[in-house]
Amino acid sequence: MNKKTVSIILFVLFSLVVFSNQLSLIEIPTIDSELLSIVSEEGYEITEIKENSTQLIIPFDEFSKFKEKYNAVFVFENADDIFSEYFNLNLETESVYHTYEQMEKVMDELVKNHSEFISKHTIGKSYEGREIWALKITAEYDEFSEHKPAVLFMGGHHAREWISVEVPIELAVYIAENYKSDKSITDYVNNYEIWIIPMVNPDGVVYSQNNYKYWRKTRRPVSNTAFGVDPNRNYGYHWGETGASSYPSSDTYKGEKPFSENCTQAVRDLAYEKKFVASISYHSYGELILYPYSYTNNVMAPDFEELKKVAEEMAKYNNYNPIVSAGLYPAAGDSDDWLYSEIGTFAFTYELAKSFIPNDYQVAEICEVNIKSAVSLLDQIDMILK
């Protein structure tokens, strides 16, 4: 079956899709990368590609078509049931995961106790009016402080990926606690500007924690019946070409235009100002370290060998699999491709853990190994600059 035939079949199958309120997680036999890309473009999120199967999110009322066409089976009829253990918990008192307000308190405490090298900044406001907070960690110890290489760590692009908020929070705490007592950390803080944005998409995270756990996008109204844009399909490099949906109700909706969202605008503007040398954007899940390009697997990044080398070094500390992002499946409009191509940033995505929201008891270990991995990126900044 050639690509044209496959496209026609999929167009007929998907063209009348009406995205229902209930989403389902299904599993189908593994299909080739070309077909995976087409499915993703039609607005269905691929959550995991295994050796013998592929999992993706579809509207519940579309299941019969996938069952007939691909012999699909339900993993969860209601995708939100994946997170059932968190349905009735008070996160502020009964979970290790941070709410938006708790994140603010941690950041304020760090600034209070380490004001000589940590400061808190708002880089923008969300659609619902929440500050998008960032920590700047650097010791202003000489006249060259304003010209230090800058490094970015950020989490919480996707609302349901709560673990992606925890790692940058704990990284900030680790750096604060080890400054002056650990020579390497001291050198990094003295010589670099380290920026940490734990929650890029605060509206989405708050909605996921308080309402619908499986929520992924922002919360801006985008049609009469749909809310939100996938912020990691909203950056401006090759925006909308592959792996993103034009359907407003889709979980991978790319938005009406590049940088339509307050949160992606905030990251963009900070990146233009700071010209980050390197970055890590935390997501979940899959235990992967991804590097450009994401928009296509037919073009190799100019710095492919160097990106690969840095990723492999970081992977020594968390045993994640380092691969080109499009090797998973093509997805245009992500932060890494834009940062790398527009700013020159050595940009990486970590797909943390083995689930979107790991159990509470797993969080500490996930943070520990990934803090070590993040520190190894700081250790390679001089090499990247050469």
Cis ω before 329 (30° cut-off from 0) = no
- Is residue 270 classed as helix, strand or coil in its secondary structure? helix
Sign of CA dihedral 156, 161, 166, 168: negative
What are the tokens at 215?
């929520």
Contact at 8 Å (CB) between 57 and 25? yes
CA angle 28, 33, 36 (to 5 degrees): 50
Tally of CB atoms within 10 A around 69: 12
CA distance 382 to 304: 18
User: Is 351 a catalytic site residue?
Assistant: yes
Q: Catalytic residue, from 27, 42, 193, 351: name it.
A: 351
Give the CA distances from residue 360 to residues 31, 162, 202, 364, 365, in Å, rounded to whole numbers and listed in that order.
34, 11, 21, 8, 10
- Is residue 228 classed as helix, strand or coil in its secondary structure? coil
Task: Enumerate the active-site residues.
Answer: 351
